[in-house]
Structure 1
Amino acid sequence: MKFRKWLTLMPVAALILLSLVATACGKPKASLVEDKVNVVASFYPLYDFTKKIGGDHVNVINLVPTGVEPHDWSPKSRDMQNLSKAQMFVYLGAGFEGWVHDTLGSLPKDSKVAVVEASKGVQLLASSEEEHNHSESSKEEKGHEHNESEYDPHVWLSPVNAKIIAQNIKDQLVAVDGAHKSEYEANFAKLAAQLDQLHAKYKDSLTKLPKKQIVVTHQSFGYLAKEYGLSQMPILGLSPDSEPTSKDLQAINEFIRSNHIQYIFFEELVSDRLAKTLAKDAKVETLVLNPVEGLTEQQAKSGADYISLMESNLNNLIKALQ
């Protein structure tokens, strides 16, 4: 009987042990601090910009963990607690965070968190616009009131838009913590200069190159393509978990052949299987084009940020478009 009872209890004991090991090995959750302005950011670029502008006066919590793709992520109870007690919450908008409206609606009535829609003021592109030489002018947003699902949310991949996003963050930091306005203004000016320089590098480098067509994993480079006269052919749609049809794959193969494409771009936070399979079939190579939606563990350890990732993207674009 004792042996049989031990067998019954063993899976439970094993689960408890695994849970303890996972807890011990896992990273501690970011938490609020008392002596700083606590800002919760919905995903990596907003976290990066807020840290740079806020400097020593701000404690920034990135909701999406390192190594996680943010498209299908949603907040847990600990995230909700941090959000409700923070002084400021920065989210992108433009339909990127599907969870945000329900989350804000369920915050406690006594929450004093100031909410920033970071994409406010950015001219949005229609989600149906896949940059396959489609007309752009008729599909651009004329105001910021819109049905968000109709728009491409990947606005931060244009350094020009990134600067607008950074300014929205800076303006709210000043509103929340006016005592440190001069430092926020100075930090923003430094970041804005870096973004201007990045924009100039992209413009100078890409306008000289003979090719303008790129094949990418998912349709996230519309704003970058529009800014610098490129045309993207996505394997997937706006969400990286969508699947192409056989007709889509035929069209991509034809696009590769007719435009003499030498590289298919993939990204690190989603599977590269499809990109590599397609590249093998088309007898071309693969390169990384990072949508800068988050960092890998290695990138976080090496101190990568929005600027360095976008510079790496530029180097790979130059290589592919020569």
Structure 2
Amino acid sequence: MNVRRLIPAAALAGAVALGATALTACSGASAAGGNTDGKLAVTASFYPMQFLAERIGKEHVAVTTLTKPGVEPHDLEITPKQTGRLGESDVILYLKTLQPAVDKAVAQSGVKNVVDAGTLTALEAHAASGHDDHDHAAGDHAAEGEEHDHDHGGAGKDPHVWLDPAKYAEIAKGVGAALGKADPAHAADYEKNTATLVTELGSLDAEFKDGLKNTASKTFITTHAAFGYLAERYGLDQEGISGIDPESEPSPARMKDLQGVAAKDKVTTVFFETLAGDKTANALAKDTGLKTDVLDPLEGITDKSQGADYFEVMRSNLKNLQKALGAK
């Protein structure tokens, strides 16, 4: 049961308003709910949001996630019971458009402290093929906060922004600020934890830049076109067998195109992911004589993941890319 239900309605309305400093000062202690031991009750839509909440909130938060380990986030369905529990959250962290069912549930939740990660950094549109919009200039991003809007036939913005450590750091800063507003009593701790995490993400970014700056090939093929941000950040070309949605089926023409790309760009490996099947990757690899390996979009952690958390899996991704691209 959420302790906020014990507060008179007028006081509750003020307590959850971000601008009402005097009343929100007690929200971290009183609003977290009886089943969270006085902690800030944070609901994360899926793993990348959960990771930020846990690393920034630490002992001050009780984090639950809507997407269980092993469930493909794009396919998540929300039960009425989950929707009801969502309304008991102090803070909701999600990424709008990634999970339509979550978007609907959040809109119905009535929770005041809702953070859409997509508003904390500039989102871009990415095509399944990176050759149309990329010039191999690593780090060739616009200034911080500037919007990129590549036009690929009216395609929507790519939500897989956490796979770029630099953009993920921007999101982390926004999450830290949101937790501080929801729980001012521990704002200093959230700020400190955010700074530590941002520094770690900066180090990871440097590892990717150094590890991928000199490779025999710049092109990688993956079943799920989730790596547009990563490719753009580090001067690579992503060739997705399917599109942003991992369940979409590639056309015979697309498979033929990829065979040509593999030959032209000296591709050695077709990547698949842990939460989706490798049937399509194996089919293309068989037709082209290529190897297969894992490139994890980090939408969830399971016992099959090549690492126990975001950093470990990202470093496994880096190692696999270096091997496939012939890093020197």
With the shorter chain as reference, the TM-score category is: 0.7 to 0.9
Larger Cα-atom Rg: 1
In structure 2, what residue type is equivalent to 1:99? A
How many pairs were matched up? Answer: 281
In structure 2, what residue type is equivalent to 1:41? A
1:66 aligns with 2:69: yes
Unmatched segments (≥5 aa) in structure 2:
1-33, 136-140
Distance in 1, Cα, partners of 2:65 & 2:51: 9
Superposition deviation, residue 102 in structure 1: 2.4
TM-score by length of 2: 0.80
Please tell me whether the aligned partners of residues 84 and 113 of structure 1 are also in contact (alpha carbons under 8 angstroms): no
Q: Tell me, what secondary structure is at the counterpart of 1:71? A: helix
* Equivalent of residue 260 in structure 1, options 254, 260, 266: 266
Unmatched segments (≥5 aa) in structure 1:
1-30
Please tell me whether the aligned partners of residues 134 and 237 of structure 2 are also in contact (alpha carbons under 8 angstroms): no
Q: Tell me, what secondary structure is at the counterpart of 1:126? A: coil
Distance in 1, Cα, partners of 2:106 & 2:48: 20
In structure 2, what residue type is equivalent to 1:85? E
* Equivalent of residue 180 in structure 1, options 175, 180, 186: 186
Q: Identity over the aligned pairs, expressed in percent?
A: 37
TM-score by length of 1: 0.82
1:204 aligns with 2:207: no
1:85 aligns with 2:88: yes
Distance in 1, Cα, partners of 2:171 & 2:266: 36
Please tell me whether the aligned partners of residues 128 and 244 of structure 2 are also in contact (alpha carbons under 8 angstroms): no
In structure 2, what residue type is equivalent to 1:268? T
Superposition deviation, residue 77 in structure 1: 2.2
Residues 97, 234 of structure 1: CA spacing in aligned structure 2 closer, same or farther, 3 A cutoff? same
1:297 aligns with 2:299: no
Q: Tell me, what secondary structure is at the counterpart of 1:125? A: coil
Query: Alpha-carbon deviations, 1:113-165, whole Å to 9, x = none?
Result: 41001121322222446312326899x8469xxxx961111111000011011
In structure 2, what residue type is equivalent to 1:228? Y
Superposition deviation, residue 75 in structure 1: 1.6
1:318 aligns with 2:317: no
Please tell me whether the aligned partners of residues 41 and 90 of structure 1 are also in contact (alpha carbons under 8 angstroms): yes
1:216 aligns with 2:222: yes
Partner of 2:42: 39
Superposition deviation, residue 211 in structure 1: 1.3
* Equivalent of residue 56 in structure 2, options 53, 56, 62: 53
In structure 1, what residue type is equivalent to 2:183? D
1:284 aligns with 2:290: yes
Query: Alpha-carbon deviations, 1:223-282, whole Å to 9, x = none?
Result: 000000000111101101100111011001111111111111110100001101211121
Distance in 2, Cα, partners of 1:226 & 1:32: 43
- Aligned-residue CA RMSD in angstroms? 2.2
